Amino acid sequence: MRPWATVPVLLALLPAAACTTGPSLENRGEVTGPPGDSKHLTIGSAGFTESDLLARMYALLLDRAGYSTKIISVTNREIYEPALESGQIDVVPEYAATFADWLNAKQNGADAAPAGSPDLAATMKALRALAAPRGLTVLDPGRAVDQNAFAVAAPYAAEHHLQTLSELGRSGLSVRLAAGDECVRRPYCAPGLKKTYGIRIVAVDPKGVGTTQAKQAVRNGQDQMVLTTTTDATLDDFGLVLLADDKHLQNADHIVPVVNRSRAGSEGVRKALGRLNTVLTTADLARLNEQVDTWRRLPEDVARNYLESERLVPRG
């Protein structure tokens, strides 16, 4: 078993690479035949810290189970998803509701009704139904969730006794929300906050999702709340705290491994990656992100140290 390696890939070149090891299922029927068990697996990373950490943990777990692995970084889902179908990539970490909606739009058009929802079971059912005809198997979701979240300044939360979005809605406070400009129309953002929680969103400040500029605007009081994610590792640096999504406005974006069925659909792969599900939490993932993004530690070291600390791989 050779050590895994990170292989940078030019996005424009990946679709042109010849590959006959797995079926490309665009415009083809349902896949038949037994799940494959290639011992040489390529793991895809979407190129940001969290995806890179998950890909490295997948590689280490698969190495431990007797597979030979390498990692490819492909920053565009429009590129790596077809590569996953074709077998150029065998495994990727994904987000259940987001990937369900992406596959749904690809199959049924951009105006299709959403496939993802706050209900994890319903989301997984929809996702697996969309993935299977493309030769993809969606493994079981883990405990870790990276979904949209909303944060306020800690002093602001303390002053107004806020721990949940419901409490913010009941407070009647006027809220300027730092977020992406699409927030004004996205159902999970300003419209959802108004409808589900009764929050008085008086303006959306288009500073981006979880950007430094957006967080600074909340810290200095220019805005009252920022759209970020549940695994944001830098909230403490800005003196911000998350308000709980107690009415479940956000979709179930649990971490799920997605595999090419003809190459990595075996029980061996499922068991190896399933070991991570028993330990990795949302808080764990946020701390791992922080070690890379704030402490500037190497992702490969952070991934290995975490798995060693949880006794999922041997020390060494």
Amino acid 289: pLDDT: 95
The per-residue pLDDT for range 43-60, each reduced to its tens digit, is 999 999 999 999 999 999
Burial of 104 (0-12, 13-18, 19+ CB in 10 A): buried
Range 183-200 average pLDDT: 95
What Cα–Cα distance (Å) separates residue 128 from each residue in 2, 34, 65, 134, 137? 32, 17, 25, 10, 7
Amino acid 141: pLDDT: 97
Provide the sign of the torsion angle of the four alpha carbons 287, 292, 296, 298, taken in this order: positive
Amino acid 233: pLDDT: 87
Residue 19 pLDDT greater than 90, yes or no? no
Residue range(s) of every CATH 3.40.190.10 domain in the chain: 6-145+253-309
Residue range(s) of every CATH 3.40.190.120 domain in the chain: 148-243
Name which of 93, 103, 101 is nearest 73 in CA terms: 93
Rounded Cα distance between 230 and 188, Å, is 14
Rounded Cα distance between 178 and 211, Å, is 9
Specify whether the CB–CB gap between 224 and 172 falls below 8 A.
Answer: no
Specify whether the CB–CB gap between 270 and 248 falls below 8 A.
Answer: no
Name which of 10, 22, 102 is nearest 262 in CA terms: 22
Rounded Cα distance between 163 and 167, Å, is 7
Structure tokens at 114: 């959403």
**Domain 6-145+253-309: which topology?**
D-Maltodextrin-Binding Protein; domain 2 (3.40.190)
pTM here is 0.84
Rounded Cα distance between 279 and 255, Å, is 12
Share of the chain above pLDDT 70, in %: 90
Rounded Cα distance between 9 and 222, Å, is 41
Share of the chain above pLDDT 90, in %: 84
| CATH number of the domain located at residue range(s) 148-243 in this protein | 3.40.190.120
Range 250-255 average pLDDT: 96
Would you place residue 110 in the very low, low, confident or very high pLDDT band (cuts 50, 70, 90)? confident
Residue 177 pLDDT greater than 50, yes or no? yes
Range 173-192 average pLDDT: 94
Specify whether the CB–CB gap between 1 and 68 falls below 8 A.
Answer: yes
The per-residue pLDDT for range 205-237, each reduced to its tens digit, is 999 999 999 999 999 999 999 999 999 989 999
Would you place residue 132 in the very low, low, confident or very high pLDDT band (cuts 50, 70, 90)? very high
Specify whether the CB–CB gap between 44 and 107 falls below 8 A.
Answer: no
Amino acid 76: pLDDT: 84
Specify whether the CB–CB gap between 81 and 102 falls below 8 A.
Answer: yes
Which residue carries 């005809």 as its tokens? 133
Amino acid 115: pLDDT: 96
Q: What is the DSSP string of 155-178?
A: HHHHHHT-SBHHHHHHHT-EEEEE
Structure tokens at 223: 């805005």
Q: Which residues pair with 151 in a beta bridge?
A: 226, 242
Strands 68-73, 40-45: pairing is parallel
Amino acid 12: pLDDT: 39
Residue 18 pLDDT greater than 50, yes or no? no
Amino acid 294: pLDDT: 87
Amino acid 34: pLDDT: 79
